[in-house]
Amino acid sequence: MSSEDERSRPGNSVAGLSNLQMRALNDSFTNLMNTALEQIHQRLDEIQNSKQPRPRTRARRDRPRRPNRSDDEIREEDSHEDDV
């Protein structure tokens, strides 16, 4: 059977390619993706292995600290907004 006959059979053609051609194309893409993913995994492993805990830095004190509002103050403010 010629490749033209094979492509013309129902269920055997995708974009004019035979099943064999589609499998070859699919395998090629799979190999490319696996290679790329392997490189990504290697890089992630390098990053995770080299990751050392950084010392925590203290908060900047360039500006004075804002006082924290109590829950009561927030509720009171919200109730005033509802009245308007």
Helices (H), 1-84: 3-8, 19-50, 71-83
**CA-CA distance, 53 to 37, in Å (whole number)?**
27
Does the pLDDT at position 58 exceed 80? no
pLDDT digits (tens, 9 = 90+) for 6-56: 555 556 566 788 899 999 999 999 999 999 999 999 999 999 998 766 666
Query: If you write DSSP's letter for every residue of 17-38 in order, what string do you get?
Result: B-HHHHHHHHHHHHHHHHHHHH
Q: What is the mean pLDDT of residues 71-78?
A: 78
